Structures are given as structure tokens and as C-alpha cells.
């Protein structure tokens, strides 16, 4: 491959790796699941988003005006069968109709060794991520050549990498025959073409369902002030979440008392009418509604305090949902991470509502805590950051559900910036393996500091400073260790703001949210779940289970927190698991 003197190398890697800016010797450049040294090879089914990364390494003089462009793909046997964008760069970043191919420039955050996230509740000391410092990629800035907003071109420092992320959505189109599709990716610098690399897609003859058969619930809030140019920023985030197959919660309707008119206006999100071409949406889940609805998010007192009022309000919620015939899951988010001092209060509150003569007595109760005997009769749904075999067994005995949230290696994948790329992927596989209905992520737009930390509710510079969660502990604690300030890098960040009114130098000129490598890997895991589900629907559940067990030998209650993670952190291994499933589905 002939390159300009300013470019030291160009290579590709799968979506299960984070290639640091300074890591010019990464072994994946020799070869990996998508790269043989000359050609990019990817595979998938219809209604699936396939992703890969292109890494451009700068020579001694750096690179100026670097651009990357991805062509459409054409079937080898039929030139009329093509995967192309209907509009290459729509002016509205929140308009997804016809969007098939997207290119993003990877944004890097520097984590110095002294700011590396300590174990705490993100990972056990025995199971740290592989790379805990350096220039770590996460935010994915739309690479919009010749258009306003995003990044039209890049300058790359000498001796550094610049990564580009490519999303390829294969539409749910029966006219696309299985087989090989060819395209190319073009790299230019200072207005001149530097390289053109072949891209080969192998389309298997299966289609992922639009309906998700796992549920990932992600909270977002406090972002409206970042988007003064948007009439409805909620919908912008909803669409991006839906394209990535997770359910977004945290809207006012989840934190306010019962309001029938508000709920009726919200119906298009529940029944799927909102996710339509008429509303600028196309892609996975078109016409499919949200699958989860928390009432009183984070313990908001939506039922009131007087017992009679509480019963009446609970009746209203349950009556409305039962009459709506919605097939999703609703519950009262009673309290967040309760301590033992709240157990009596929990039992009292639940007894009042369960004592209703009306429909409210059927309201399910949820809390973020593992199974606890003192409140076992009150709680219907446990959602734990970690639980052991005994707690899981007790939960099963009582017929209650156990969900899990956030990330705590080696139990499940971590959510922090330094986490391995596949960490956000493994959680959906864990859901399949243990038949767990829901995974919950506590925050995705934590663009303001949390109140527990020393900076109160100040706005955060999420593009420049990695620390996003801080906690002050005034005593030794099994999670925090010594007293003082403790922190997590990237915790609570899945979206980045396309506009930045508080740190103007970071404004990307995009009236909408920006995705991330962590979000993309979360999507990859949710899509993998659909592979497993499809195989099971074909009567091959044991085969699906065997692949899942090979991928993740132990997780959640099966592991001791003194162990290392049981899963591979190598993205190529995860492509091999998916390839095994794809071949089986295509038979």
C-alpha cells in the first residue's frame, strides 16, 4: 500500500477494541478478525449494524486535513443490490431515514496514571481493565466532509494514531440477496488521496428482529440546556437510543405524579408509532415501542405520603397500564440503594399500597439492591450491582426477579472509560446466559457533577477531563477504601453533547447527541443477544447456550470477587463467537 510520507500506516480493527492514540505498536495492526493487511472483511445479517475501525498513524511530520470516506457496497452478482445512503450528510443530525453508512472521528481523553479509576465498585482488584491510563478513545464525532457540524477533517500529531469508526446498517430489505458485497474506504490528506482500501461484506441469509428480546434500561436527564436550538431534545436522544436498541428513561413522565393526559401523549413511544419514517426514524426497531417504564424514577415520591392518597394514585397507574394493553414492563422504583435503616419504611410503604382494594395492589415494586430477607415480601424486582449464589438462590425460591446494573468486573462488564471495549458487550450475553430480563445503566448524560462530590452540580468538561463521578467518604468503606475523594472516569457517560454552551471551545456544532464507543459496544451485545434468540427459536437453544458459555464461562453469582474476568477481552474472539452463530443461523 503506497502512502503519503506524512502517513506512517493505515490499518483496520474490529469494534471490540479501544486503540489508544499513542499505541502505534498495537498487535492488531498485523491482523485481526476484520483485517488481513490489505482488505477489510466484515459480516452480518439484515437489520443489523456492523462496525469496524480504521486507524491512521501519523509519520514524523504529522498529518494535516485528514479525511476518511466510506463508499456504498454492491453485491458481486447483482449491481442493483446496493447498500448506500439515501442522503450522505443530512442537515438534521437526528434524521435517520435512509442512513446506512456513517463515519465518525474518535475523540480521545487523557487519563494520567494518578487519575486512573481505582477498583471501588467498578472492578475488583483482581480484575482490572487492561489499559488504565493514556489517551483513550470514546466519543464518536460525526465526520461530515463538506458540511457544518461535526469534524470535516483532522490534524494528527506526529507519531500518533487517529481512529475512525464506521457504522454500516444493513437494512431489513428482502431484495438484498445473501453473498458478498464490495466497497472501499478512501483516506485523503491535504486534499490528495493517500489510500483506497477494499471493504468486503459477507451478508448471511438471516434477519435480526426489530423487536428486542432483551431489555437494557438507560437513565438520562439534565441535558436540555445543552441544546437551545432543538425544539425537542428528548426525541433526539430517544432516536439515538432506539437505533442502538436500548430504552431511555428519566423523562419527566417517569418522575412526576400520575397525569392521564401526559400518559396519553406518551403513547406513541410505548406503542412504537413515534419510531417511524414520518418522524425521521428508520432502522432497528422501526414501529416497535419502548419496553420498560419506571414509575417514580430513583424513588421520586409520585404517589404522595398519605396512605389513602398512595392507594388511589397506585390504582390510577395500574388501571391505565392494564387498559392500555401495552406489552412492556412497568414498576414503581420505590427507593434507590436502600440501607438497612430504610427496611421498616419499605415494608410500611408496600403494605399500604398492597392493601389497596383496587388495581394498585398489583403494582410491582423495584429497588436497586440484592435479595434481602428483611424486605423479601415487599420487593418484586431486585436489581443488584453484585450478588452471590445464596442471594440468587433465595430470590429464585421466592419467585422474584433478579436484574443487574452498572458494571463490576469480574461479575459483569465495567462501564468506566478505561474498561475494555467488550465490557459493554458482555452484559447482554450475561442476560442470555442467566435468563435475566433487564440490565440497567444508572446514567448516560452525567454532564453535571453529582451532588455527593466536592463540585456539587457544576457542569463537567466531558470532552477534556475524564473524571465524571466523585464521592467523598468520611470513613473507611469496603467499596471506597480509605476516607477521602473517590472517583470514576467516564462513569455515567454514554452520550456526549453535540453542543457545549458551558465550555465553548468544545462545541461540536451538532444540534443533537453524540454517541460513543461504549454505546456502540452495548449495541453490539444487544444484537448478539438476538443471534442467540434466533438460534433458540429454531429449536437450537442448547447450541446457543454452549456458545454463550464458551464466551463467558462464569459471571454474576458464579464468580468470586477475588477472581479475574472469565471472558476474553480480545475483540477478534468475540467476532469468532458471533461468526459461529451466524453460520448456524444461515444453515
Tell whether 455 and 539 lie within a shared domain: no
In a domain, 460, yes or no: yes
- What is the structure's pLDDT at 511? 94
- What is the structure's pLDDT at 480? 47
Q: Are 514 and 508 spatial neighbours (Cβ–Cβ below 8 Å)? A: yes
Q: Are 552 and 429 spatial neighbours (Cβ–Cβ below 8 Å)? A: yes
* Sheet with 7-14: strands ordered across: 7-14, 48-58, 161-170, 101-111, 134-142, 513-516, 496-497
Tell whether 454 and 437 lie within a shared domain: no
Domain finish residue from 491, 525, 549 = 491
- What is the structure's pLDDT at 3? 60
In a domain, 157, yes or no: yes
- What is the structure's pLDDT at 87? 73
Task: Tell me which residue of 171, 244, 249, 235 sits closest to 214, measured CA to CA.
Answer: 244
Strands 496-497 and 484-489: unpaired
CATH number, residue 392: 3.20.20
In a domain, 128, yes or no: no
Tell whether 420 and 327 lie within a shared domain: yes
In a domain, 11, yes or no: yes
Measured in degrees and rounded to the nearest 5, phi and psi for residue 471 equal: -140, 135
Tell whether 25 and 82 lie within a shared domain: yes
Measured in degrees and rounded to the nearest 5, phi and psi for residue 203 equal: -90, 115
User: CB within 8 A of 132, min separation 6: which ones?
Assistant: 111, 113, 116, 117, 418
In a domain, 154, yes or no: yes
Tell whether 311 and 279 lie within a shared domain: yes
Q: For the segment 233-282, what is each residue's pLDDT rounded down to a tens digit? A: 999 999 999 999 999 999 999 999 999 999 999 999 999 999 999 999 99
Tell whether 450 and 438 lie within a shared domain: no
In a domain, 583, yes or no: no
- Determine if the peptide bond prior to 346 is cis (ω within 30°): no
Tell whether 326 and 386 lie within a shared domain: yes
Q: List the domain range (segments joined by +) for residue 232.
A: 215-442+497-573
Domain finish residue from 145, 175, 207 = 207
CA separation for the pair 557, 395 (Å, rounded): 12
Q: For the segment 458-517, what is each residue's pLDDT rounded down to a tens digit? A: 899 999 998 888 766 665 555 445 555 667 899 999 999 999 999 999 999 999 999 999
CA separation for the pair 28, 15 (Å, rounded): 12
Tell whether 223 and 372 lie within a shared domain: yes
Tell whether 35 and 144 lie within a shared domain: yes
Flag residues of the chain having pLDDT under 50. 479-480
**380-403 burial code (b ≥16 CB/10 A, e <16):** bbbbbbbbbeebbebbeeeebbbb
Look at the chain and report how many structural domains it folds into.
3
Helix (H) and strand (E) counts in the chain: 10, 24
- Pull the grid cell for residue 164: 475512525
- What is the structure's pLDDT at 476? 53
CATH number, residue 174: 2.60.40.10
Domain finish residue from 207, 224, 242 = 207
- What is the structure's pLDDT at 118? 87
Average pLDDT value for the chain:
94
In a domain, 222, yes or no: yes
Distance of CA 45 to the CA centre of its chain: 20
Q: Which residue is it, cell 432502522? A: 283
Tell whether 505 and 562 lie within a shared domain: yes
- What is the structure's pLDDT at 531? 99
User: CB within 8 A of 456, min separation 6: which ones?
Assistant: 449
Tell whether 402 and 355 lie within a shared domain: yes
- What is the structure's pLDDT at 35? 99
In a domain, 264, yes or no: yes
Tell whether 261 and 369 lie within a shared domain: yes
Amino acid at each position: 500500500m503506497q502512502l503519503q510520507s506524512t502517513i506512517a500506516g493505515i490499518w483496520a480493527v474490529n469494534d471490540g477494541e479501544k486503540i489508544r492514540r499513542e499505541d502505534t505498536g498495537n498487535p492488531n495492526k498485523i491482523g485481526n478478525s476484520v483485517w488481513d493487511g490489505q482488505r477489510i472483511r466484515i459480516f452480518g445479517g439484515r437489520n443489523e449494524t456492523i462496525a469496524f475501525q480504521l486507524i491512521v498513524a501519523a509519520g514524523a511530520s504529522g498529518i494535516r486535513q485528514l479525511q476518511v470516506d466510506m463508499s456504498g457496497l454492491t453485491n458481486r452478482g447483482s449491481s442493483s443490490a446496493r447498500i448506500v445512503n439515501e442522503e450522505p450528510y443530512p442537515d438534521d443530525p437526528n434524521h435517520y431515514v435512509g442512513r446506512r453508512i456513517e463515519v465518525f472521528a474518535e475523540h480521545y481523553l487523557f487519563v494520567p496514571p494518578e487519575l486512573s479509576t481505582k477498583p471501588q465498585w467498578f472492578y475488583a482488584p483482581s480484575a482490572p481493565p487492561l489499559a488504565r491510563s493514556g489517551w483513550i478513545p470514546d466519543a464518536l464525532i460525526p465526520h461530515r466532509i463538506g458540511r457544518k457540524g461535526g469534524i470535516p477533517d483532522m490534524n494528527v500529531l506526529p507519531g500518533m494514531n487517529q481512529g475512525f469508526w464506521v457504522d454500516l446498517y444493513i437494512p431489513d430489505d428482502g431484495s438484498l440477496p445473501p453473498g458478498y458485497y464490495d466497497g472501499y474506504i478512501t483516506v485523503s490528506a491535504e486534499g490528495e488521496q493517500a489510500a483506497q482500501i477494499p471493504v468486503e461484506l459477507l451478508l448471511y441469509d438471516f434477519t435480526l428482529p426489530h423487536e428486542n428480546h432483551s431489555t437494557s434500561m438507560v437513565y438520562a436527564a439534565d441535558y436540555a440546556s445543552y441544546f437551545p436550538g432543538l425544539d425537542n431534545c428528548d426525541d433526539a436522544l430517544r432516536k439515538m437510543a432506539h437505533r442502538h436498541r436500548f430504552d431511555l428513561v428519566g423523562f419527566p413522565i417517569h418522575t412526576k405524579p400520575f397525569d392521564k393526559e401526559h400518559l396519553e401523549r406518551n403513547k406513541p413511544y410505548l406503542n412504537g408509532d413515534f419510531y417511524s419514517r414520518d418522524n425521521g426514524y428508520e432502522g432497528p426497531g422501526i414501529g416497535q415501542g419502548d419496553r420498560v417504564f419506571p414509575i417514580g424514577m430513583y424513588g421520586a415520591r409520585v404517589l404522595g405520603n398519605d396512605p389513602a392518597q398512595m392507594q388511589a394514585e397506585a390504582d390510577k397507574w395500574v388501571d391505565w397500564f392494564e387498559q392500555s394493553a401495552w406489552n412492556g414492563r412497568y414498576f414503581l422504583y420505590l427507593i434507590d440503594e436502600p440501607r438497612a435503616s430504610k427496611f421498616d419504611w419499605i415494608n410500611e410503604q408496600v403494605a399500604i399500597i398492597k392493601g389497596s382494594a383496587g388495581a394498585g395492589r398489583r403494582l410491582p415494586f423495584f429497588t436497586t439492591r440484592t435479595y434481602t430477607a428483611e424486605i423479601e415480601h415487599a420487593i418484586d424486582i431486585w436489581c443488584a450491582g453484585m450478588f452471590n449464589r445464596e442471594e440468587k438462590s433465595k430470590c429464585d425460591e421466592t419467585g422474584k426477579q433478579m436484574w443487574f446494573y452498572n458494571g463490576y468486573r469480574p461479575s459483569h462488564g465495567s462501564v468506566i472509560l478505561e474498561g475494555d471495549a467488550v465490557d459493554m458487550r458482555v452484559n447482554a450475553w450475561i442476560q442470555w446466559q442467566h435468563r435475566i430480563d433487564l440490565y440497567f445503566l444508572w446514567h448516560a448524560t452525567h454532564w453535571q457533577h453529582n451532588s455527593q462530590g466536592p463540585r456539587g452540580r457544576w457542569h463537567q468538561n466531558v470532552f477534556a477531563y475524564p473524571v465524571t463521578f466523585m464521592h467523598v467518604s468520611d470513613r473507611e468503606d469496603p467499596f471506597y477504601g480509605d476516607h477521602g475523594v473517590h472517583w470514576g472516569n467516564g462513569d455515567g457517560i454514554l452520550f456526549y453533547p453535540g453542543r457545549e454552551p458551558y465550555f465553548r471551545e468544545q462545541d461540536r456544532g451538532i444540534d443533537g447527541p453524540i454517541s460513543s464507543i461504549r454505546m456502540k459496544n452495548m449495541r453490539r451485545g444487544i444484537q448478539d443477544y438476538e443471534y442467540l434468540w434466533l438460534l433458540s427459536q429454531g429449536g437450537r437453544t442448547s447450541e446457543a447456550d454452549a456458545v454463550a458459555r464458551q464466551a463467558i464461562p462464569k459471571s454474576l453469582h458464579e464468580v468470586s470477587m477475588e477472581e479475574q474476568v472469565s471472558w476474553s477481552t480480545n475483540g477478534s474472539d468475540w467476532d469468532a463467537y458471533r461468526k459461529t452463530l451466524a453460520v448456524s443461523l444461515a444453515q
